Amino acid sequence: MTPAPTLHTGAVDALARLLPASAPLESALWPVTNGEIPAAGMTTLTVDYLGAVSAELSLALPPATEEAIRQAGGSSSISIGDVLRPALEAAAETLGAGVLGDVAAETSAALFADPESSVFRISEPGRAEPFAWFAIRIRHSDIRSSNGGADISAHKMGRIHDVEMALSVVIGRTRMTVANVLGLEPGDVVDLDRSAGAPADILLNGRLIAHGEVVVVDQEYGVRVTKILDAAETID
Protein backbone atom coordinates (compact mmCIF):
# COMPACT_ATOMS: atom_id res chain seq x y z
CA MET A 1 0.00 0.00 0.00
CA THR A 2 1.34 3.43 -0.92
CA PRO A 3 1.81 5.63 2.16
CA ALA A 4 -0.49 8.64 2.39
CA PRO A 5 1.13 12.09 2.16
CA THR A 6 1.92 13.73 5.50
CA LEU A 7 -0.76 16.40 5.02
CA HIS A 8 -3.43 13.74 4.63
CA THR A 9 -2.38 11.67 7.64
CA GLY A 10 -2.06 14.77 9.81
CA ALA A 11 -5.62 15.76 8.91
CA VAL A 12 -7.17 12.37 9.66
CA ASP A 13 -5.27 12.06 12.95
CA ALA A 14 -6.54 15.46 14.11
CA LEU A 15 -10.09 14.57 13.08
CA ALA A 16 -10.05 11.18 14.80
CA ARG A 17 -8.99 12.73 18.11
CA LEU A 18 -12.18 14.81 18.24
CA LEU A 19 -14.73 12.28 17.03
CA PRO A 20 -17.18 11.32 19.82
CA ALA A 21 -16.15 7.70 20.34
CA SER A 22 -16.01 5.57 23.49
CA ALA A 23 -12.31 4.78 22.93
CA PRO A 24 -9.37 6.37 21.07
CA LEU A 25 -9.75 5.83 17.35
CA GLU A 26 -7.26 4.45 14.86
CA SER A 27 -6.99 5.34 11.17
CA ALA A 28 -5.51 3.51 8.21
CA LEU A 29 -5.17 4.39 4.55
CA TRP A 30 -7.70 2.37 2.59
CA PRO A 31 -6.99 1.28 -1.01
CA VAL A 32 -10.10 1.90 -3.12
CA THR A 33 -9.87 -0.78 -5.81
CA ASN A 34 -12.13 -2.53 -8.28
CA GLY A 35 -14.68 0.26 -8.15
CA GLU A 36 -15.43 -0.39 -4.47
CA ILE A 37 -16.63 2.75 -2.67
CA PRO A 38 -16.60 2.14 1.10
CA ALA A 39 -18.88 5.10 1.92
CA ALA A 40 -21.61 4.32 -0.63
CA GLY A 41 -25.10 4.92 0.77
CA MET A 42 -23.87 6.48 4.02
CA THR A 43 -24.55 9.97 5.32
CA THR A 44 -21.53 12.12 4.46
CA LEU A 45 -20.46 15.47 5.87
CA THR A 46 -18.54 17.35 3.20
CA VAL A 47 -16.79 20.71 3.48
CA ASP A 48 -14.44 22.88 1.40
CA TYR A 49 -11.32 24.52 2.82
CA LEU A 50 -9.66 27.50 1.11
CA GLY A 51 -6.24 28.59 2.28
CA ALA A 52 -2.53 27.92 2.12
CA VAL A 53 -3.53 24.42 1.09
CA SER A 54 -7.04 24.15 -0.35
CA ALA A 55 -8.87 20.87 0.00
CA GLU A 56 -12.17 19.05 0.12
CA LEU A 57 -12.91 16.89 3.15
CA SER A 58 -15.65 14.34 3.64
CA LEU A 59 -16.60 12.25 6.66
CA ALA A 60 -18.88 9.26 6.08
CA LEU A 61 -20.85 7.68 8.91
CA PRO A 62 -22.03 4.06 8.94
CA PRO A 63 -25.66 3.76 10.17
CA ALA A 64 -24.65 2.52 13.65
CA THR A 65 -22.28 5.46 14.19
CA GLU A 66 -24.78 7.99 12.89
CA GLU A 67 -27.53 6.65 15.16
CA ALA A 68 -25.26 6.65 18.22
CA ILE A 69 -24.24 10.27 17.61
CA ARG A 70 -27.84 11.38 17.06
CA GLN A 71 -28.98 9.65 20.26
CA ALA A 72 -26.12 11.21 22.21
CA GLY A 73 -27.20 14.62 20.93
CA GLY A 74 -30.66 14.08 22.35
CA SER A 75 -32.10 17.16 20.63
CA SER A 76 -33.35 17.82 17.12
CA SER A 77 -32.00 21.39 17.42
CA ILE A 78 -28.42 20.07 17.27
CA SER A 79 -27.60 18.72 13.82
CA ILE A 80 -25.04 16.01 13.26
CA GLY A 81 -23.06 18.56 11.24
CA ASP A 82 -22.90 20.85 14.29
CA VAL A 83 -21.72 18.00 16.51
CA LEU A 84 -18.94 16.95 14.13
CA ARG A 85 -17.84 20.34 12.78
CA PRO A 86 -15.12 20.74 15.47
CA ALA A 87 -13.52 17.51 14.26
CA LEU A 88 -13.58 18.71 10.64
CA GLU A 89 -12.17 22.07 11.75
CA ALA A 90 -9.31 20.30 13.51
CA ALA A 91 -8.54 18.35 10.34
CA ALA A 92 -8.59 21.51 8.21
CA GLU A 93 -6.35 23.46 10.60
CA THR A 94 -3.52 20.99 10.00
CA LEU A 95 -3.39 22.28 6.41
CA GLY A 96 -2.46 25.80 7.50
CA ALA A 97 -4.29 29.12 7.63
CA GLY A 98 -7.53 29.27 5.70
CA VAL A 99 -11.32 29.49 5.68
CA LEU A 100 -13.58 26.49 6.30
CA GLY A 101 -16.91 26.51 4.49
CA ASP A 102 -20.29 25.24 5.63
CA VAL A 103 -20.68 21.54 6.37
CA ALA A 104 -23.08 19.87 3.92
CA ALA A 105 -24.84 16.70 5.05
CA GLU A 106 -25.65 14.50 2.07
CA THR A 107 -25.47 10.93 0.81
CA SER A 108 -22.93 11.48 -1.95
CA ALA A 109 -19.75 9.41 -1.85
CA ALA A 110 -18.20 11.11 -4.89
CA LEU A 111 -15.11 12.25 -3.01
CA PHE A 112 -14.43 8.68 -1.86
CA ALA A 113 -14.51 7.46 -5.46
CA ASP A 114 -12.14 10.11 -6.80
CA PRO A 115 -8.68 8.66 -7.56
CA GLU A 116 -7.14 11.96 -6.40
CA SER A 117 -8.54 11.46 -2.89
CA SER A 118 -6.89 9.70 0.02
CA VAL A 119 -9.43 7.51 1.82
CA PHE A 120 -9.02 6.39 5.44
CA ARG A 121 -10.81 3.80 7.51
CA ILE A 122 -11.37 5.02 11.09
CA SER A 123 -12.05 2.34 13.66
CA GLU A 124 -12.17 1.56 17.36
CA PRO A 125 -9.54 -0.96 18.53
CA GLY A 126 -10.85 -4.51 18.58
CA ARG A 127 -13.99 -3.78 16.54
CA ALA A 128 -14.43 -5.22 13.06
CA GLU A 129 -16.88 -2.61 11.80
CA PRO A 130 -15.48 0.83 10.92
CA PHE A 131 -16.49 3.78 13.08
CA ALA A 132 -16.29 6.16 10.11
CA TRP A 133 -14.63 6.79 6.75
CA PHE A 134 -12.69 9.93 5.84
CA ALA A 135 -11.68 11.24 2.42
CA ILE A 136 -9.49 14.24 1.64
CA ARG A 137 -8.57 15.67 -1.74
CA ILE A 138 -5.95 18.40 -1.97
CA ARG A 139 -6.96 20.75 -4.76
CA HIS A 140 -3.80 22.84 -4.84
CA SER A 141 -0.99 23.96 -2.60
CA ASP A 142 0.57 27.41 -2.40
CA ILE A 143 3.25 26.36 0.07
CA ARG A 144 6.57 27.94 -0.85
CA SER A 145 9.38 25.44 -0.61
CA SER A 146 12.04 28.17 -0.77
CA ASN A 147 11.43 29.27 2.81
CA GLY A 148 9.72 26.19 4.20
CA GLY A 149 6.72 28.29 5.26
CA ALA A 150 3.04 28.00 4.50
CA ASP A 151 2.47 31.53 3.19
CA ILE A 152 -0.40 32.13 0.82
CA SER A 153 0.78 33.93 -2.32
CA ALA A 154 -0.50 37.47 -2.79
CA HIS A 155 -2.61 36.74 -5.86
CA LYS A 156 -4.34 33.87 -4.08
CA MET A 157 -4.99 35.95 -0.97
CA GLY A 158 -6.64 38.58 -3.14
CA ARG A 159 -9.44 36.14 -3.87
CA ILE A 160 -10.53 36.03 -0.24
CA HIS A 161 -9.90 39.62 0.90
CA ASP A 162 -13.65 40.31 1.04
CA VAL A 163 -14.52 37.10 2.89
CA GLU A 164 -15.95 37.93 6.31
CA MET A 165 -14.50 35.96 9.21
CA ALA A 166 -15.71 35.64 12.78
CA LEU A 167 -13.54 37.32 15.43
CA SER A 168 -14.30 36.09 18.93
CA VAL A 169 -12.88 36.61 22.41
CA VAL A 170 -12.68 33.65 24.79
CA ILE A 171 -12.21 34.15 28.52
CA GLY A 172 -12.08 30.44 29.31
CA ARG A 173 -13.02 26.94 28.23
CA THR A 174 -14.16 23.62 29.57
CA ARG A 175 -15.18 20.26 28.14
CA MET A 176 -18.66 18.82 28.65
CA THR A 177 -20.56 15.90 27.24
CA VAL A 178 -23.52 16.61 24.99
CA ALA A 179 -25.78 15.17 27.70
CA ASN A 180 -24.43 17.63 30.28
CA VAL A 181 -24.86 20.56 27.88
CA LEU A 182 -28.47 19.60 27.23
CA GLY A 183 -29.02 19.36 30.99
CA LEU A 184 -27.98 22.96 31.71
CA GLU A 185 -30.59 25.08 33.47
CA PRO A 186 -30.79 28.82 34.24
CA GLY A 187 -28.68 29.52 37.33
CA ASP A 188 -26.17 26.71 36.73
CA VAL A 189 -22.51 27.74 37.05
CA VAL A 190 -19.95 26.30 34.62
CA ASP A 191 -16.33 26.32 35.82
CA LEU A 192 -13.78 27.47 33.25
CA ASP A 193 -10.09 26.62 32.93
CA ARG A 194 -8.77 30.15 33.52
CA SER A 195 -8.22 32.28 36.60
CA ALA A 196 -9.66 35.78 37.02
CA GLY A 197 -7.43 38.40 35.40
CA ALA A 198 -5.76 35.98 32.97
CA PRO A 199 -5.45 37.17 29.34
CA ALA A 200 -8.34 36.39 27.04
CA ASP A 201 -7.84 34.52 23.76
CA ILE A 202 -8.65 36.34 20.51
CA LEU A 203 -9.67 33.93 17.77
CA LEU A 204 -10.16 34.51 14.06
CA ASN A 205 -12.56 31.96 12.60
CA GLY A 206 -11.79 29.73 15.56
CA ARG A 207 -8.00 30.04 15.30
CA LEU A 208 -5.99 31.68 18.08
CA ILE A 209 -4.21 34.80 16.77
CA ALA A 210 -3.71 37.08 19.79
CA HIS A 211 -4.20 37.69 23.52
CA GLY A 212 -5.94 40.65 25.11
CA GLU A 213 -7.66 42.25 28.09
CA VAL A 214 -11.44 42.56 28.35
CA VAL A 215 -12.48 46.22 28.71
CA VAL A 216 -15.69 48.24 28.76
CA VAL A 217 -16.21 50.85 26.02
CA ASP A 218 -19.35 53.01 26.18
CA GLN A 219 -21.17 50.41 28.26
CA GLU A 220 -20.23 47.62 25.86
CA TYR A 221 -17.56 44.97 26.18
CA GLY A 222 -14.41 45.27 24.10
CA VAL A 223 -10.92 43.81 24.06
CA ARG A 224 -7.55 45.54 24.22
CA VAL A 225 -4.99 43.56 22.21
CA THR A 226 -1.89 42.91 24.31
CA LYS A 227 -0.02 40.42 22.14
CA ILE A 228 -0.16 39.31 18.49
CA LEU A 229 0.95 35.70 18.09
CA ASP A 230 3.29 34.60 15.33
CA ALA A 231 2.60 31.55 13.17
CA ALA A 232 4.39 29.10 15.47
CA GLU A 233 2.47 30.28 18.53
CA THR A 234 -0.93 29.89 16.84
CA ILE A 235 -0.54 26.12 16.47
CA ASP A 236 -2.97 24.47 18.89
Tens-place pLDDT, residues 20-72: 888 899 999 988 665 567 777 888 999 988 877 889 999 999 999 988 887 77
Domain boundaries, the chain: 6-160, 167-234
Tell the CATH topology of 6-160. Answer: Chemotaxis protein chec (3.40.1550)
Are 228 and 209 in contact by the 8 Å Cβ rule? The answer is yes
Percent of the chain at pLDDT > 70 equals 81
State pLDDT tens for residues 90-104: 999 898 877 888 888
Are 52 and 96 in contact by the 8 Å Cβ rule? The answer is yes
Q: How far is it, in rounded angstroms, from Cα 93 to Cα 57?
A: 12
Are 19 and 86 in contact by the 8 Å Cβ rule? The answer is no
Superfamily of domain 167-234: SpoA-like (2.30.330.10)
Identify which has the larger pLDDT, 79 or 151.
79
Report the phi/psi class of residue 120: left, alpha or beta, with left for phi > 0 and alpha for psi in -120 to 50.
beta
The closest alpha carbon to 8, from 56, 60, 40, 52, belongs to 56
* CATH topology match: 6-160 vs 167-234: no
pLDDT of residue 123: 93
